[in-house]
Structures are given as structure tokens and as C-alpha cells.
């Protein structure tokens, strides 16, 4: 199924609570792969409801950060926060199930809606390299399964620990993907050369702009009414390589439906490099804030993101 055919370092900070690995263990992935293939996607959703009830008390750190997010950041009342806590975990589980289902050959069971779709395709067709920046909100990675001929030019930048954990189980049990992975290593800078090479070849490099590990270049930005740190790296790279930038989100809607959102960034590039990067970061944070306000249950950073 080809939905994307032509038709249609400066300031350092302490290591954050997130250590570079996403939630979800080997057994969990294997279990849901079997469940989907034998009993179907909707049965997997049904079973997920029981898993979430178990997960809430047995993942205290994640639950605590989520509770603070709903109560303090979103400002929800007590009872609404209780419901959103359950819904947030449930939606995260649904999204993992959807990733597995799509790579298991069930892509046709989902529906899709696009924003700024023609302009996005035109940018891909006529630009010499593009940087896409998303977040750990919604099902960001799922779009790579529907880029068709464009998928071969997609390079997703991921932290090495996160990349290896997911790759081991999924690649062994599911259909292969067309897009490529650029793992970020903490021991060398090979990923920078891979990113440079991909962009110079006119390919697309995809970042998630809302996480960092250890002593990274970061910037404190007002996000959802409170200061939070964001990695400056993706925005510095966008400035250095002088390529178009697109903010991209894929959010789950009611039913088995996803909405793909593409925001092409237009900025004054006559500014100095660092100032341009900071302006680009602020535009990104503003776009992410709108997404988190509209889809509060689809914010999947399970640590104290607003930690001072």
C-alpha cells in the first residue's frame, strides 16, 4: 500500500531521568505479535485493557511522572487525571500494537488522513535533502511504513540502546521495513557523518526533537507553561546543512485511524547560525505544544520532563 505515491553542545546539563531506552520488553513484543497473528488486532486491544490495570501500580516511576503531567502540566482535575492515566497507557499500548500489526501485513485495516499532504510531497520531490522533526507523541514511526517509494530514502535517527532493543525482536518476527536507521552512539560521532551523507544524497533524515541523554547541547524553553530542556542538536544540524525542515506528527484518532500532520517551516535564514537554530527550536516547541494540548493522552515521555 503506497499512500505516498506521486499521485496523490552549548549549555550542559545533568543526565535526565530518561536513560535512552523505550518502554516495552522482549517478552511483551513477542506476546502481542503472537496475539495479533492468531486472534486479531481487536482482541489484542481487548487484552491490553487488562495489561494496563496491571501496569499502573507496577511502573511507579512512569505512573508518578504521568500523574504529575496530567495534574500539574495539563491542569486536569483529580478524577479526570485518573481516567487520563489509564487512557494514556492504553493509547501507548494501542500504538505498539498498531506498529506490530502494520508490519505483520495488516496496514489495509487502518484509515489515514493527511494535512498539507501535496505540499509535503512536492518538497520531497524537489529538495536536495529534508530534515523531519517529530516527538515521542503519537505513533511517529508508523508513517515510515506508508511512504512507498520515498521510504527507501528515509533515515530515522535513534539512540543506540533504543534502536538495538526494538530491532532485535521486531526484525526477527515481522516484515522488513524500507527505511533505514542511523543509531546515535555515545562513544563516537559516526552518526554525524551518516546524517551528512544522507542529506548530501538528497535523502530525508528524521529526528525526534524531545529527548536527550547525558551532557548534550540543550536549551531551556517554555513548554506547556513551564521551562523544559530540549536537545539543540537537530536544529543546529538543520541550520548547518541548510535543508528544508518539516515538523511531522502522526496522531491516533478514534477507531483505527491516524492523522498525519506536516508543517513546512519557513524562516529567515539570514540570521546567525545559533540564533536561527534557537528560532527553529521555538517554532518546534510551539507546534509540539499544540499537539500535546489536542492529544494529551498521547504524550509518551515517561519521566519528569520538566525536571529543573
Q: What is the pLDDT of residues 10-37, one digit of tens each?
A: 333 444 444 444 445 556 667 777 888 7
Backbone angle region of 94, left / alpha / beta, with phi > 0 → left and psi within -120 to 50 → alpha:
alpha
Q: Indicate whether 206 belongs to any domain.
A: yes
Residue 298 pLDDT class (50, 70, 90 cuts): very high
Residue 218, φ and ψ in degrees, nearest 5: -135, 170
Going by the DSSP 8-state scheme, the letter that residue 295 receives in this structure is -
Range of the domain at 108: 26-298
Question: CA–CA separation, 8 vs 275, rounded Å?
Answer: 37
Strands (E), 43-128: 111-115
Q: Indicate whether 14 belongs to any domain.
A: no
Q: Residue 303, Cβ neighbours under 10 Å: how many?
A: 15
User: Which segments of 4-76 does DSSP mark as H helices, in order?
Assistant: 26-39, 41-58, 60-68
pTM listed for this prediction: 0.85
Report how many domains make up the chain: 1
pLDDT at position 149 is: 78
Question: CA–CA separation, 248 vs 143, rounded Å?
Answer: 10
Dihedral of alpha carbons 154, 134, 248, 92, sign:
positive
3 pLDDT exceeds 50?
no
pLDDT at position 143 is: 73
Measured N-to-C along each axis, helices 273-294 and 233-241 cross at an angle, to the nearest 10 degrees, of 130
Element (H, E) at 93: helix 78-101
Q: Indicate whether 135 belongs to any domain.
A: yes
pLDDT at position 164 is: 61
Q: Residue 11, Cβ neighbours under 10 Å: how many?
A: 11
Q: Indicate whether 9 belongs to any domain.
A: no
Q: Indicate whether 259 belongs to any domain.
A: yes
Q: Indicate whether 3 belongs to any domain.
A: no
Which residues, 6 or more positions from 135, have their beta carbon under 8 angstroms from its beta carbon? 208, 209, 210, 249, 288, 291
Amino acid at each position: 500500500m503506497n499512500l505516498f505515491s506521486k499521485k496523490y553542545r552549548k549549555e550542559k546539563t545533568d543526565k535526565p531521568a530518561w536513560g535512552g531506552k523505550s518502554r516495552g520488553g522482549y517478552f511483551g513484543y513477542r506476546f502481542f505479535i503472537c496475539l495479533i497473528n492468531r486472534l486479531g488486532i481487536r482482541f489484542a486491544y481487548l487484552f491490553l485493557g487488562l495489561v494496563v490495570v496491571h501496569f499502573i501500580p507496577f511502573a511507579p516511576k512512569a505512573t508518578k511522572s504521568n500523574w504529575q503531567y496530567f495534574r500539574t502540566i495539563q491542569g486536569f482535575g483529580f478524577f479526570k487525571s485518573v481516567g487520563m492515566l489509564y487512557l494514556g497507557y492504553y493509547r501507548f499500548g494501542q500504538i505498539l500494537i498498531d506498529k506490530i500489526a502494520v508490519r505483520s501485513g495488516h496496514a489495509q485495516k487502518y484509515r489515514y488522513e493527511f494535512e498539507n499532504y501535496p505540499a509535503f510531497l512536492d518538497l520531497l520531490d524537489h529538495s536536495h535533502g529534508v530534515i523531519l522533526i517529530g516527538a515521542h507523541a503519537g505513533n511517529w514511526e508508523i508513517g515510515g511504513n506508508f511512504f512507498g517509494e520515498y521510504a527507501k530514502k528515509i533515515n530515522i535517527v535513534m539512540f543506540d540502546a533504543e534502536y538495538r532493543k526494538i530491532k532485535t525482536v521486531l526484525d526477527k518476527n515481522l516484515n522488513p521495513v524500507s527505511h533505514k536507521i542511523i543509531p546515535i552512539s555515545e562513544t563516537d560521532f559516526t552518526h554525524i557523518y551518516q546524517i551528512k551523507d544522507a542529506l548530501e544524497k538528497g535523502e530525508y533524515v528524521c529526528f525526534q526533537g524531545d529527548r536527550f541523554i547525558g551532557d548534550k547541547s540543550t536549551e531551556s524553553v517554555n513548554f506547556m507553561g513551564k521551562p523544559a530542556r530540549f536537545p539543540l542538536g537537530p536544529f543546529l544540524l538543520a541550520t548547518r546543512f541548510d535543508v528544508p525542515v518539516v515538523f511531522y506528527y502522526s496522531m491516533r484518532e478514534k477507531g483505527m485511524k491516524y492523522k498525519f500532520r506536516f508543517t513546512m517551516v519557513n524562516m529567515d535564514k539570514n540570521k546567525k547560525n545559533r540564533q536561527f537554530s534557537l528560532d527553529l527550536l521555538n517554532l518546534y516547541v510551539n507546534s509540539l505544544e499544540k499537539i500535546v494540548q489536542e492529544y494529551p493522552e498521547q504524550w509518551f515521555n515517561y519521566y519528569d520532563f520538566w525536571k529543573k
